[in-house]
């Protein structure tokens, strides 16, 4: 690696490590109900340039938003579609429920609140335009099933009764025969959300240089290597 690039990579990695340390420390102090440090207090304890630290903090917040919408949400929707494609391609009974469950989890994931790295949460749920009105019912069905019976083990939806011959589940709508009927609309839903997400990303994140324009010419202090964070900072 070129010496200049290696130095830049090392400097960037150390600033990122300090931000990670700061966030982790804040969370630990919050759990202990000890309040926390402001960025200025952390920088003073760590011997950091506060202007550079604040700049990196804001950059990572912006980076988190970009990555969630452009990469992670897009990836999970593609995973959901891939699982449905496999269901149509391979009619293997043993794989039907595992694949539909995977599609449900993958689709619902970006609509749940995902933790960012800098005290932020991201979700497609915050932007109503992603789900067309005529597909709202199946969207709610998929997300509710994920929350109640796929990723959790809620008893209410399946409404069990214990009898002498075993356990009877009175809840309806959670078996392969039910999901099989939903697949065409489920696929339309994924494609519609993918299309709307792609439009949103083009409107808000392209070109990339425009989205990150505030950080293209950062203060010189951000280029100074702060060194790795000390274990003694607490």
* Structural tokens at position 130: 């992603």
Contacts of residue 138, Cβ cutoff 8 Å, sequence gap at least 6: 182, 185, 186, 189
How many angstroms separate the CA atoms of 146 and 138, rounded?
12
Lowest mean pLDDT among 31-35, 59-63, 84-88: 31-35
CA distances from 118 to 9, 10, 160 (A): 21, 21, 42
3 confidence band (pLDDT: 50, 70, 90): confident
Q: pLDDT digits over 50-68, tens only?
A: 999 999 999 999 999 999 9
Question: What pLDDT is recorded for position 128?
Answer: 82
Question: What pLDDT is recorded for position 189?
Answer: 98
* Structural tokens at position 32: 């202990």
Question: What pLDDT is recorded for position 41?
Answer: 93
| pLDDT of 98 over the 90 cut | yes
What average pLDDT does the segment 5-21 reach?
95
Question: What pLDDT is recorded for position 176?
Answer: 93
What average pLDDT does the segment 17-32 reach?
92
Q: What are phi and psi of 160, to 5 degrees?
A: -75, 150
Candidates 197, 200, 211; CA nearest to 61 is 211
Q: pLDDT digits over 146-180, tens only?
A: 999 998 899 998 899 999 889 998 888 888 999 99
CA distances from 64 to 46, 69, 81, 169, 231 (A): 24, 9, 24, 43, 26
Q: 111-120, 184-193, 223-232 — which one is most confidently predicted on average?
A: 184-193
Candidates 49, 57, 60, 56; CA nearest to 221 is 49
Question: What pLDDT is recorded for position 196?
Answer: 97
* Structural tokens at position 161: 């009764």
How many angstroms separate the CA atoms of 158 and 140, rounded?
17
Rounded to a whole number, what is the largest CA-CA distance in the chain? Answer: 76
230 confidence band (pLDDT: 50, 70, 90): confident
* Domain chopping of the chain, boundaries: 1-48, 65-215
Q: pLDDT digits over 175-221, tens only?
A: 899 999 999 999 999 999 999 999 999 999 999 999 999 999 999 99
């Amino acid at each position: 690696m070129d010496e200049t690039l290696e130095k830049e990579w090392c400097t960037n990695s150390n600033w990122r490590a300090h931000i990670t340390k700061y966030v982790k420390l804040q969370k630990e102090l919050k759990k202990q109900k000890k309040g926390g440090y402001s960025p200025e207090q952390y920088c003073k304890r760590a011997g950091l340039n506060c202007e550079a630290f604040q700049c990196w903090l804001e950059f990572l917040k912006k980076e988190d938003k970009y990555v969630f919408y452009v990469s992670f949400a897009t990836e999970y929707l593609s995973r959901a579609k891939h699982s449905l494609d496999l269901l149509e391609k391979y009619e293997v009974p043993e794989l039907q429920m595992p694949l539909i469950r995977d599609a449900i989890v993958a689709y619902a994931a970006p609509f749940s609140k995902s933790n960012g790295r800098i005290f932020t949460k991201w979700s497609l749920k915050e932007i109503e335009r992603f789900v067309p009105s005529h597909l709202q019912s199946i969207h709610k069905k998929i997300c509710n099933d994920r929350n109640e019976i796929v990723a959790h083990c809620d008893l209410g939806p399946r409404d069990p009764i214990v009898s002498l011959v075993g356990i009877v589940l009175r809840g309806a709508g959670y078996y392969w025969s039910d999901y099989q009927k939903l697949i065409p609309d489920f696929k339309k839903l994924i494609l519609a959300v993918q299309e709307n997400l792609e439009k949103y990303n083009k409107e808000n994140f392209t070109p990339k240089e425009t989205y990150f324009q505030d950080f293209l010419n950062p203060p010189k202090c951000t280029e100074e290597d702060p060194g790795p964070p000390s274990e003694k900072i607490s």
